[in-house]
Structures are given as C-alpha cells and as structure tokens.
Amino acid sequence: MGRDTGKALGGPAIILVGIGAILDVILFYFMFKFADEENLFMVLLTAALIGVIALGIAKGLVSISRRNYGK
C-alpha cells in the first residue's frame, strides 16, 4: 500500500510549514528593504537565513514523516 500523505503531514507539519512561511515572508521583506538601501552584505545574509529556514523545515517534515511511519 502507498503512503497516505494526508495522514503523515497532519497538524504538526502544517504548523511547521506555517511558521516557516511567516519567517520567510519577514526575511524577504527585510531582504528587499536592504536591497533598496544597497546593503549587499545584509541581502546575502538574509538570503542565507531563508535557505537555513528552508532546510530546517525540510528536516522537520522528514522527521515527522519518519515518526509517523516508524522508519
């Protein structure tokens, strides 16, 4: 039988993705603000933070999926 992704990605996953999305929106706002100020270092730093948050969300989703399927 195939995996039921609806069951695997339930409440905790939705909360994790929602928090990540909110943080990413805030960081994108600041990244564009720093770009308008022509501050290259801060633009690169916020872009790196967006990537770190994306990796954290991916690892969290894998952890939730493995916990639900006992793998």
Reported as a single tens digit per residue, the pLDDT across 32-64 is 999 999 999 999 999 999 999 999 999 998 888
Q: Specify if 8 maps to a domain.
A: no
The dihedral built from the CA positions of residue 7, 8, 9 and 10, taken in this order, carries a sign that is: positive
Closest by alpha carbon to 67, among 26, 1, 10, 2? 10
Q: Specify if 48 maps to a domain.
A: yes
Amino acid at site 26: I
The overall longest dimension of the chain from CA atoms, in Å, is 54
**Domains held by the chain: number:** 1
Tokens linked to 35:
């770009």
Q: Specify if 45 maps to a domain.
A: yes
Host domain of residue 27: 16-65
Q: Specify if 5 maps to a domain.
A: no
Q: Specify if 21 maps to a domain.
A: yes
The whole-model pTM stands at 0.78
Alpha helices in the chain (DSSP H): 5-8, 11-36, 40-69
Q: Specify if 31 maps to a domain.
A: yes
